[in-house]
Every structure is written in structure tokens, then in C-alpha cells.
Amino acid sequence: MKVSIVQFRSTLGAVDENFFTASRLIEAAKNSDVIILPELWSTGYYPTPVSDFADIDGRRTANFICAAAQKFSVNIIGGSVIVVSGRKILNRCLVANRNGEIVAAYDKTHLFSFAHEDDVFGAGDKIVTVELDGVKCGLAICYDLRFPEFIRKIALAGAEIIFIPAAWSLKRLTPRQILTKARAIENQVFVVFANSAGVSEVVNPSGEIIAVSGNGEEILSAEIDLNERLQVISAMNLLADRNFRVD
């Protein structure tokens, strides 16, 4: 499976401009199986008041990624965008398949209180997996990475690859790179981390970075060989060896 991370720094609050940039980069990455955008790519992270920039029920974003997915026959993990749904404002990731159909929606579960996300966004309350080209994929957004029990639930739901759109500051690059490796190793999954700020990466189940980007606008592509994951599990099946008999 060829995955491509569309990495770019959005212009804060310039929604039309950011949609244009995303369109241009998606077309450039069209020869992929899965394209993933970063967190809050349509607005930047994050303009206030967020309600002024919210996509009502995610309709504009859904129409956009569905049209691109169908046009190029590619699966698109639509990063995340500010969505208003009823009385809630959410940080939502939408996924479109090759046929241009929305097949999954995930709302960010862990809100970054340091940036006051919990003051403006509602929190998601469920894990989400989706099958793309026969591969079980899990979804998380940025800060979710810091919560091992949450990522473990995604792995237990059968995810082989976990896709994580993010807007993670490079000031905290070292812990983030440790965490992507740890989440990959302990769950024996591939981790695809798409970061608007740069240094996006693809990590294999052994915790090795198989692709990493620079800091600027870039398309980072990597071939994911799922047989590699099976080989790691056959040598040491961590999930099967869990022991719950201790207090």
C-alpha cells in the first residue's frame, strides 16, 4: 500500500486559500493508495472564534475530499477540520474511499488543554476504524498519540495501520518521535503521522522510521508492506501474550 502524507502549513483563517493548496497537493500525490492531510488544514491551528470558521456538518470538506477521491481513484484521509454539528464544535477527521464515498468520521477524543482546546471543542467518545483496500485502518488525531490505552483500543479493534493527522509543535519533537515509535512497537502496527508543522513520518511495527519529511511543504510517500507486520507478530505476538491475572 502506497501512502502519501500531504504536509503543508495552512494560512490561519484563510479557508479558501487552504482548500486550494490542499487540492493542488492532492493532485500531485494522486498516484497513491491513501493520501492523508494534516490536522485543521482548512483553517490552520486554530483561528478564533472557531465557530466563525466551522464547516457545518463537515459538508464542504466531505464534498471536497469525495470529489478528489473519485476523480483520482484514491482513498483520502481528510486530516481534520473544524466542524459544527448541532450544538457541538468538533475537531473531525473524515475519510473518503476510491469511489468518492465518506466511509468514516472520527472526532478528536483527547483535547489539548494547554492550547485550551477543551474550552472550544467537544470531545469524541469512540474509537474509529475503517477498511481501505481491504486493510483495517485506525484513526487518531495529534494529542491522542500521548494516550497508550486509547491507541491500544484501536489496535485491539484490528487496525493494521494507524493514521494520525496532527499539528504538533516541533518544540516537542523529541517526545513525539518517541511516542510514534512506542505506539508502533507496543501495538505492532504501522503509524502514519501527518504533521502540518513538519517532520511527518511513517513508522513500521518494529519502531523504525521508514520515511520522514522536512519542515516545509512536501509530499512524503512510503510503501507499506503489511507482510512485514505479520513477520513481526509471528516472531513475538505481544497482544496475544497480555496477562490480566495480576492485580
CA 208, 36, 210: angle at the middle one, nearest 5? 15
Active site residue 71: no
pLDDT at site 247: 62
pLDDT at site 244: 83
Q: Which of 142, 160, 181, 201 is catalytic?
A: 142
Q: Please state, in angstroms and rounded to a whole number, the distance separating the CA atoms of residues 105 and 118.
A: 20
Q: What is the pLDDT of residues 7-38, one digit of tens each?
A: 999 999 999 999 999 999 999 999 999 999 99
How high is the mean pLDDT of the chain? 97
pLDDT at site 246: 73
Average pLDDT over residues 174-194: 98
Question: Binning pLDDT at 50, 70 and 90, where does residue 245 land?
Answer: confident
Higher local confidence (pLDDT), 244 or 185: 185
pLDDT at site 22: 98
pLDDT at site 75: 99
Q: What share of the chain is helix, strand, coil (3-state, %, to 5)?
A: 35, 30, 40
Q: Please state, in angstroms and rounded to a whole number, the distance separating the CA atoms of residues 31 and 195.
A: 21
Residue extents of the structural domains in the chain: 2-235
Q: What is the pLDDT of residues 190-223, one digit of tens each?
A: 999 999 999 999 999 999 999 999 999 999 999 9
Active site residue 39: yes
Closest CA to 4 of 27, 70, 15, 207: 27
Active site residue 108: yes
Average pLDDT over residues 120-141: 98
Given a cut of 90, is residue 120 above it in pLDDT? yes
**3-state SS assignment for residue 52:** helix
Q: Which of 66, 108, 160, 201 is catalytic?
A: 108
The third-level CATH classification (topology) of the domain covering 2-235 is: Nitrilase/N-carbamoyl-D-aminoacid amidohydrolase (3.60.110)
pTM: 0.97
